[in-house]
Amino acid sequence: MKYVRLEINDHIGILTIDRQEALNALNSQVLSELDQVLDQVAVDDQIYVLILTGAGRSFVAGADIGEMKNFSSIDGKRFGIHGGAVFLKLENMAKPVIAAVNGFALGGGCELSMACDIRLASDKARFGQPEVGLGITPGFAGTQRLPRIVGVSKAMELILTAKTIKADEAKAIGLVSEVYPAEELMSKAIELAEAICANAQIAVQESKRCIRMGMQTDITTGSAFEAEAFGVCCGTEDKNEGMGAFLAKRTEKNFKNR
């Protein structure tokens, strides 16, 4: 991998996009490498939680304008389908994904962060969908995820004005969960990942699946899906361990993820 690297430490995967000469902009190669690494993470049973971040002063500054400049309509659609599929793979991964947004998250970078389950931001982070100022629309589902996260009115405002917002405003509108000083961001992301890792992973993954499913369907269908997930968890050894520890007033739990 030239632009994407994966480190694994105590059930936490840290995936870093490192194309600093272009502020980690997403070109076709970065998307392909990201796609491959996500496949690796998905099948690695030692990884419980993934943290996604960028190297240097940028998370991802956007899609690569240099590559896109000469796109035809067919090229643009093909690029959008490629990036959109990678982002859906990230969103639909069974394992929780935390975006540690360390700097610029513009265009494709904002869209990448929105495909993650939880977003934490550095106080130096900046968010925006500047595409209409370049004569294009968001291409990696920004028009779909942003209104689902912040509401239609705010999404319209951000996308149609192409403005950039700071991390504190991103938190105020619900785009990110927390904002930390830059030097604390990764330690806070790891702390959050560790808290997730401490729980029963079948239950964690089923809970994520229920939330993702519920956001795309009506409450009746979502509730039925949740009942199935609850039933699955009730048949696990981890349910017996977790409830046994609670009843015995035992703080230590020995989950086996089965």
Cβ proximity of 233 and 207 under 8 Å: no
Task: Establish whether 111 is a catalytic residue.
Answer: yes
User: Hey, is 55 helix, strand or coil?
Assistant: coil
DSSP-derived 3-state class of residue 199: coil
Rounded Cα distance, 123 and 121, in Å: 6
Nearby residues of 246 by Cβ (< 8 Å), 6 or more positions away:
none
Distance in angstroms (rounded) separating the CA atoms of residues 47 and 27: 27
The H or E element spanning position 105 is: strand 104-106
Whether 169 is catalytic: no
Interaxial angle between packed helices 201-214 and 237-247, expressed in degrees from 0 to 180 and rounded to the nearest 10: 110
| Catalytic residue (one of 67, 91, 111, 206) | 111
Name the β-bridge partners of 13.
8, 50
Nearest alpha-carbon partner for 4 in 31, 22, 23 = 31
Given 131, 228, 237, 252, the catalytic residue = 131
**Is 114 within 8 Å of 145 (Cβ atoms)?**
yes
Other C-beta atoms closer than 10 Å to the C-beta of 223 total 12
The catalytic residue positions are 111, 131
